[in-house]
Amino acid sequence: MNKSFLISVTILAGTILGAGIFSLPYILGQVGLVLAAAYLLFFGLVYFLVHLFYGEALKTAPPGHNFLYFLRESMNPWASQASSIVVLAEFLLILTVYLILAPAFGALIFGVAARPVLLVFWALGSLFIFFRLSVVGWTEFFGVAALVAFIAVVFGFGSGPLGAQVWPPALNWPLVFLPFGPLLFSLAGRSAMAQVVEKERESAKAGAPFSIGRVAFWGTFLAAAVYFAFAIGVLRLTSHPTPDTLSGLTGLPPAALAVLGVMGLVAIWKSYIVIGLNAKEMLDLDLKWPKVLGALAVVAGPPIFYFLGLNNFLSVIGLLGGLFLAFDSALVVHIWRRLVPRSRWRPVSWALYAIFLAAAVYEIISLA
């Protein structure tokens, strides 16, 4: 087996696994595990294509180009600038999600969702944003390891029957579209494809090429399988999971809850740093903001969103997935159509646009 291929699959799956996992037991439990598996399969296919398309687009340009470069190459200046601002807002809202989760993890440790946990988490996360990405690269390993350990502990403690959660309830249209936003958020891993393409180029030069498509497939579906296992573990712990999962884990021993709290904080702290760094670099290098203003936006933006009322975990996840990541993924498809015009997958792109539009319409109706 090609070592670079396995590393690339791990990079993609590790990037996908993140805060969205804590929304899935509640969301998937609402539709029953049979439909949950179908939703994960369906959106796994959607993101397999998105990741494949972005990988193919990356291969058309020399190394070192990022998402905003492709926006500039495939759009007029006004549309490119507007899209860049949307992507920036997406990053800041993702950071806000981690601020929402921090007190919930603190509650597992201390028994109460203390506001100081949020402030300390924000301060430490913001501090490390000012280091270079290479300096904090080690956090990626510890963050993914902590999240996998968290999942393993929950799955290990889950021992109850699944019961009524296996089969879907009587569905209505709002329930049909409810998983769209959370799953579009949870399975997104576009940013990892730049590393995957870099690995593929290095491996090809060494005489051991591998398929970007296979990495997109296995990386996406490995993450989807982990999500499904986590949902089963939580649903075996409680028949009524809470929207953020964490506040519903009270039946575990206090020591286990404290361990889960620490592992969870490490996992989301890693993500907060990496996403914050990416947002700051985008402002500094791509949008050419003054460095002080860019730093202020990344540091102050998430807590401002939080204290203005964007502090409901499930609502913010739905907003991010249904609007921002649906738009982000539609941009990937647009870029790919411009740069890879003769792909056999081209007819599928219209179905992807329809899915992203449906998610956005549902989210807008939900907000009204």
In the block, residue with structure tokens 């051991």? 208
Which residues touch 81 (CB under 8 Å, ≥6 apart)?
A: none
pLDDT tens for 303-314 read 999 999 999 999
Tell me the mean pLDDT in the region 93-107.
93
Say if residues 149 and 219 touch (Cβ distance below 8 Å): no
Domain residue limits, the chain: 3-367
Residue 93, pLDDT above cutoff 90? yes
Other C-beta atoms closer than 10 Å to the C-beta of 292 total: 8
**Whether the predicted model's global pTM rises above the 0.95 cut:** no
CA atoms within 13 A on the CB side of 72: 7
Percent of the chain scoring above 70 in pLDDT: 92
- What single-letter DSSP state applies at residue 286? I
Mean pLDDT calculated for residue range 85-106: 93
CA distance 295 to 284: 9
Exposure of 76 in the CB half-sphere (CA atoms within 13 A): 2
In terms of phi and psi (left: phi > 0; alpha: psi -120 to 50; beta: otherwise), the region of 116 is alpha
> Is residue 283 within 8 Å of 297, Cβ to Cβ?
yes
Give the pLDDT score at 33.
83
Largest CA distance in the chain: 57
- Helices marked H in 169-209: 173-177, 180-186, 193-205
Identity of the amino acid at 269 = W
Selected residue with higher pLDDT from 266 and 285:
266
Residue in the structure block whose two tokens are 């904080």: 265
Q: How far is CA 154 from CA 36, 87, 271, in A?
A: 19, 33, 21
Q: What are phi and psi of 72, to 5 degrees?
A: -65, -35
* Nearest to 55, CA basis, from 280, 219, 270, 206: 219
Distance CA 164, CA 174 (A): 20
- Position 213 scores a pLDDT of 95
The CA-based angle 222-223-226, given to 5 degrees, is 90
CB-CB contact of 310 with 96 (8 Å): yes
Radius of gyration of the chain (CA): 20
Q: CA–CA separation, 193 vs 9, rounded Å? A: 10
Owner of token pair 């944003």: 129
CATH number for 3-367: choose from 1.20.1260.10, 1.20.1740.10, 3.30.420.40, 1.10.3260.10: 1.20.1740.10
Residue 366 CA to its chain's centroid (Å): 21
Q: So what's the pLDDT on residue 347?
A: 92
- Contact yes or no for 7/199 (Cβ under 8 A): yes
Position of tokens 């470069």? 69
- Using CA atoms of 78, 345, 38, 184 in order, give the dihedral in degrees to the nearest 10: -20
Q: Cα torsion for 152, 148, 236, 29, to the nearest 10°?
A: -170
User: Is the pLDDT score of 357 beyond 60?
Assistant: yes
Mean pLDDT of 130-147: 65
Q: Any idea how long the chain is?
A: 368
pLDDT tens by residue, 244-283: 998 888 778 888 888 888 888 888 888 888 888 888 888 8
Residue 131 DSSP class: S
